[in-house]
Chain A
């Protein structure tokens, strides 16, 4: 066993970090937390700027095959994600670059790959995910929005919801019922659609902290070319499952917390309460030390998942365990940090807020990772049923 990086990997990791550090200098102060890129114009602009800078280096196509102008390998993706997480650098569209591109590479026709991969690699096309519906959340297979084929088009009707960044996206990938008569799991098709198509209405929804990162999307006779399909007609469910496997690995979030821990340590060293540095308070020392242990464990497990993926040996169990662990670590971190800050923990980004209000933001944002990408209860079912082989609920 060997946890170390090769010299070549080390030097690439340095390059990723240096670039993110450099990009950080132009970071708007209003960019606090993960989802602010979708909310504020200046943050979205910065996201696009970072995307273009990364594209110039070929980093939006890391791990793609050479015939699609790919560069590097899966391990480079991991190292790049670490650097971005640590510096909180946006610019890698989680929907287009992280989820859709690897899905297209595995499941789309040559024509679709040639059409949709290059704009993703150039950082030009931003995507959103159009899956969930008001009545189809965890049980996505019961979705109701329809795409009925008419000649060489699908006509889409219905509603999607909780779609992150749909108001910013150029394109959306979605699943729609194409054969209302067929049995569950064989009645839906995975489609790619231009968000500017007439008949699409996007309405931002306010998140609990008052920001607006996600949306409701309504479809009223929306015409989509029939060739914009991924996988087989009526067999979109298998594409959904393939794509879900590429959802955030957590490396990004874990490195972001690593950075957060460094900042919290610095804060405790610098800040005095009653004339004594917070860093001398045994309760605070104990809690931050525990977080450090958990963070290292989370990172080690994330490496385990990455290592398996590198070898094309997907382990559902480890991926689910990693997702549960890093997302709930995010909850604990938010609460511990809030406790340490005392009454300042409730101050939103403003002149009174320590460290630009990032901890107050975290108090709201941890739900993103525990609920989306398959709730943690669903992840626990996966471990129990598919991993441990326990009897399945019917």
Chain B
């Protein structure tokens, strides 16, 4: 056992930290929140220059060929700094292409992803808002060599700037998990319309409507009717990714709170001298550190190809609440100053809500854990 990062990972971590600190200051974060797009093409190009979008893309497709765990090292730094935009949407949509894409699809898309030329997202959730196969009702009907897609997707991350949408559709009305098919759809195809939903984190989740959208059969990702296991893998990897990103954010909330508690004087002493606050900060740190190693364990298992549905769900369920509670306490320990939008802590608190629901809520993942520990 060796729970340290490798030397390359340490280098990646440090360079990501330095890059984000200079290239993605909080002024940009706020500007992007307020803008309609929520995406900075300039920043995106610089990130592409560092090879980030191609981090997990194999070298044969012009990527860097790093592991999933290497990716989580980068994601933690993105969480620590906050990086708005379509990075996570693109990377999580890359997983299913790597896993199930045809050679033609990989050759077409992966080099462009790695170069930062295209943005991807995955359209999964619908009206029910739950991550299970039964709630997929957007329909893809065969018509000659094509399929025609109809229906509405919700909460689609950054769909309004995406070039391609991986759409999870129903192609067969049989058992819920048996008739799911994934399509890679060019976002400019006629019949697709998109509207940004106003969210707590201003993170540009979209409603995407498909009206008689015609997609060639060759755009099926994986096999007809057999898409659900691909979705499950995406959800699991997405959950771990989001979790590690949250750990970075939690770390910042704690760092800022501890620093402020040393500085802010009330009753002739730094507020950090009050034991009531010291214990609270010690609890926050303990919650982070347990969540951190739980998330690292899940990331390591995923990266090593070990089955880890249970660990991934444990990590997501646990870290969801840690992020929410720590960022809430960060505000309370700061006092009024951190209830103002000018302060950075609310940027994190509001994102804890987004992190909570993305790739499965606490209750959703607890149910998976309940099944995995043998509750009949």
Contact = CB atoms under 8 A, between A and B. Distances in A.
B340 A208 contact: yes
B266 interface: yes
A371 B353 contact: no
A208 B346 contact: yes
B324 A137 contact: no
Contacts of A338: 353, 356
A273 B339 contact: no
A7 to B, nearest CB: 44
A206 B200 contact: no
Given A208-B341, A347-B199, A371-B339, A342 B130 contact: yes
A273 B130 CA distance: 8
Interface stretch (B1-9, B48-56, B184-192, B357-365): B357-365
A82 to B, nearest CB: 27
Nearest to B333: A377
Nearest to A381: B276
Contacts of B115: none
A207 B361 contact: no
A346 B266 CA distance: 35
B353 A346 contact: yes
Contacts of B354: 346
Interface string A128-149: 0000100101110010000000
A348 B198 CA distance: 5
A339 interface: yes
Contact of A208 (B128, B199, B350, B357): B350
A344 B200 CA distance: 10
B102 interface: no
Nearest to A137: B335
A208 B339 CA distance: 5
B11 interface: no
B341 A206 contact: yes
29 contacts: A132-B336, A142-B266, A206-B340, A207-B339, A208-B331, A208-B343, A273-B129, A275-B134, A335-B324, A338-B353, A339-B362, A342-B129, A342-B357, A343-B125, A343-B155, A343-B357, A345-B353, A346-B354, A347-B200, A349-B198, A350-B197, A352-B154, A352-B207, A360-B200, A367-B332, A371-B332, A377-B277, A380-B276, A393-B267
Interface of A: 132, 135, 137-139, 142, 161-162, 205-210, 273-275, 283, 331, 335, 338-339, 342-350, 352, 360, 363-364, 367-368, 370-372, 375-377, 380-381, 393
